[in-house]
Amino acid sequence: MDLLTLSIILVIVLFGFLLAGLWVGFSLMAVAFVAMELTRPGLAGAVFATKVWGSLNVWDLTALPMFIWMGEILFRSRLSSDLFRGLAPFTRRLPGGLLHANILGCALFAAVSGSSAATTATVGRMSLPELKTRGYDPDISIGTLAGAGTFGFLIPPSIILIVYGAATEQSIARLFLAGVLPGLMLAALFAGYVMLWSLMNRDKLPAPDPAPSWAERWDAIKALGPTVALIFAVIGSIYAGIASPTEAAVIGVAGALMISGLSGGLDRTSAVASLRGAAITTCMIAFILAGASFLTVAMGYTGIPRLLAQWIGEQGYSQFALLAALLVFFIILGFFLDGISIVVLTTSVILPMVMAAGIDPIWFGIFLVLVVEMSQITPPVGFNLFVLQSITGRGIFQIARMALPFFLILVLATAILSLFPEIALWLPNTMLSR
């Protein structure tokens, strides 16, 4: 069987299982079994047993359930409401007012949760009712939240960066450092757009609030204190060389439990719910990683990745042309798959040709996460769209329309990152080369 025919069969099998509603992890395993049986009959069982165990028996992945649990604790505690209350006095005088609380709230919560969906849900439940009550235009209110909710993938500690690091054997500490400046750049681009929009649409915003008093500012600082302290404890311990990402995850869970316990925001019911939510999310990601690992080996037996990398190399694409082609490819995938599935499904095929083109794998991880963020706000399977649908009752495609400007800003951010790669590489090269 020629490789073109085999590729077509495998694509049909994959999307057939996905459209039938089979879980992504099991769909990847099924495609791998088909690929193995068509190319190396009789080896599928042994390879499956070896690779599934090997893909999950990775020390770096230990950080994954801990960071997920930390986000679940914060999601159910009083800390999340304190976050919005603390930001409001400092943003309401800016052009766009409390819309900036959406952006900054998502950025701060992303720095302690690592999850895009959790960031969107937590900030959305706090901010959208408040913005509606104050008379803000619902389109821009929901749009800013949909876009800024994607920060959970980029700003460390990012779950998807842990997955990428484990799948590609890259340093998670370097990836975390590489995500800091692009995350801040993206937040600045979103804030800049909101300011520009507000200046052009003054009739869709309420009258400016009076300047906050010093007492209000001090109360806001006290409300933000626990969140900022937790961020410094988790991220600072990694960057200072005191803890590995896994150890920092444990510090984060301990800190979240302590803060939630002292504030009285976590009872027995919510604590059990946080454990259950963390276990469900971790198992989902584990199945996807196991399936992708098996598929990676199966694809190696077929020779498709090698042939594809060779073909692209023969085209003589420049780095920018290759990145532009990958950008379009990943955006199309984002219409059908969630972010983690895209990362684990494609890295084994894409990374060899990326490295052959002289592109730094740490930088490419940040590029990939930026592109994957787009999949969170593209229908029909954008997770952030589903989260906002449950909060607002709006339709998926209606929310996607509201999020369109922020999707375009994400495309702009990838272009800026491609032109100035040091935005991602300067911090890890500076701090970890000492």
> Residues 21-39: pLDDT tens digits?
777 778 888 888 888 888 8
CA-wise closest residue to 386 among 341, 344, 338: 338
**Within its chain, how far is the Cα of 286 from the centroid?**
16
pLDDT average, residue stretch 393-402: 86
Read off the pLDDT of residues 120-145 as tens digits, 9 standing for 90 and up.
877 777 778 778 887 888 899 999 99
Read off the pLDDT of residues 192-217 as tens digits, 9 standing for 90 and up.
999 999 989 888 877 776 777 778 78
Look at residue 121 in the predicted model and tell me its pLDDT: 75
Q: Which helix (H) or strand (E) holds 18?
A: helix 3-19
Q: For 4-13, 87-96, 354-363, 369-378, which range has the lowest pLDDT when averaged over its residues?
A: 87-96
φ/ψ of 27, rounded to 5, equals: -65, -40
In this structure, are residues 344 and 289 in contact, taking their beta carbons and an 8 Å threshold?
yes
Tokens coding 242: 């005191």
Tokens coding 355: 């490295």
φ/ψ of 290, rounded to 5, equals: -65, -45
> Could you tell me the pLDDT band of residue 380, with boundaries at 50, 70 and 90?
low
Read off the pLDDT of residues 332-342 as tens digits, 9 standing for 90 and up.
777 766 677 77
CB 291: neighbour CB atoms within 10 A?
Answer: 27
φ/ψ of 132, rounded to 5, equals: -65, -45
Predicted model pTM = 0.75
In this structure, are residues 208 and 97 in contact, taking their beta carbons and an 8 Å threshold?
yes
Give residues with Cβ within 8 angstroms of 269, minimum separation 6. Answer: none
CA-wise closest residue to 383 among 370, 393, 372: 372
- The single-letter code of the amino acid at 87 is L
Look at residue 312 in the predicted model and tell me its pLDDT: 64
| Domain interval for residue 287 | 3-431
Q: How many domains does the chain have?
A: 1
> Could you tell me the pLDDT band of residue 169, with boundaries at 50, 70 and 90?
confident
- Stronger pLDDT, 314 or 87, i.e. the higher one: 87
> Is the torsion defined by CA of 45, 46, 48, 53 positive or negative?
positive
Look at residue 80 in the predicted model and tell me its pLDDT: 63
Look at residue 104 in the predicted model and tell me its pLDDT: 86
pLDDT average, residue stretch 286-310: 74
Residue 434 has pLDDT above 60, yes or no: no
Look at residue 346 in the predicted model and tell me its pLDDT: 77
Residue 410 has pLDDT above 80, yes or no: yes
Angle at 384 between CA 232 and CA 253, to 5 degrees: 30
Q: Which helix (H) or strand (E) holds 106?
A: helix 99-113
* Whole-angstrom distance, CA of residue 176 vs CA of residue 88: 28
Look at residue 310 in the predicted model and tell me its pLDDT: 66
